[in-house]
Amino acid sequence: MSDEIDIDIDDLSRRMDGALASLRTEFASLRTGRASGSMLEPVQVEAYGQMTPINQLGTVNVPEPRMVTINVWDKAMVGKVEKAIRESGLGINPQLNGTIIMLPIPELNEERRRELTKVAGSYAEHARVAVRNVRRDGMDQIKKAKAAGMGEDDQKLWESEVQELTDKHIAMIDKALETKQEEIMQV
């Protein structure tokens, strides 16, 4: 491999890993019928003049398999947190008990499960597109390096390395999607 030409495979790998990490975060927010504190991560509350994640306004606990509780630290924020949960689209009806908000997680029906698998599929497709965009950036770097004097053998070597990295990340995304869909469809 040529020393004067720099193709940063580590950077490409790091960016592809970022797409995978983002996908896992999105998957964590999908409700599967079991209680999980991570399902509240995308919910933001208008607090103290800015949008704030719920976990910065109170303690999120999962005391039982179908219940999430939030112990809100500031009494003035309880109503705002409750309102944000109602408007979040999670399909959960919060119950107040002083500064504690209880979120009973209802069973998912078959139609909602199928809907959620489609949502998971779209999240996975966004992650695949992000990985392919990183691959394209890598291939563009290789083309520029070829124009700057990289040999054809080196070009083929780098292209196969970038493609191998892409294939590995796409396979990881597919595996994560398959696992999440099984989890959603499990009754």
Query: Does residue 1 belong to any structural domain of this protein?
Result: no
pLDDT tens profile 52-111: 888 889 999 988 888 899 999 989 889 999 998 888 777 788 999 888 999 888 777 888
Q: Do residue 80 and residue 132 come from a single domain?
A: no
Residue 2 predicted with pLDDT over 70: no
Tokens read off for 105: 């997680």
Question: Is 3 part of a structural domain of the chain?
Answer: no
Clarify whether residues 21 and 70 are in a common domain: no
Confidence category of residue 5, pLDDT binned at 50, 70, 90: low
pLDDT recorded at residue 3: 44
Q: How far apart are CA 158 and CA 137, in angstroms?
A: 13
CATH of residue 56's domain is: 3.30.1360.40
Say which residue, 41 or 10, is predicted with more confidence.
10
Full-prediction pTM beyond 0.95? no
Distance between CA atoms of residues 91 and 176, nearest Å: 24
- 86 and 123, same domain (yes or no): no
The model's confidence at residue 33, banded by pLDDT at 50, 70 and 90, is: low
Number of domains into which the chain is organized? 2
Is 175 within the bounds of a domain?
yes
Note whether 172 and 125 are same-domain residues.
yes
In the prediction, which pLDDT does 31 show? 65
Please indicate, yes or no, whether residues 55 and 86 belong to a single structural domain of this protein: yes
Does any domain span residue 155? Answer: yes
Q: Is the pLDDT of residue 38 over 70?
A: yes
Whether 48 is in a domain gets the answer yes
Same domain, 39 and 100: yes
Domain range enclosing 42: 34-104
DSSP run (H or E) holding 104: strand 100-104
> What confidence score (pLDDT) does residue 159 get?
93
Instruction: Give 153-180 pLDDT, tens digit per residue.
Output: 889 999 999 999 999 999 999 999 999 9
Instruction: For residue 1, name the pLDDT band (cuts at 50, 70, 90).
Output: very low
**Domain ends where: 76, 104, 132?**
104
Residue 153 maps to a domain: yes
State the Cα torsion 127-183-119-67 to the nearest 10°: -120
Q: Is the domain of 124 the same as that of 161?
A: yes
Angle between helical axes of 110-147 and 152-185 (0-180°, round to 10): 170
State how far Cα 140 lies from the chain centre. Answer: 27
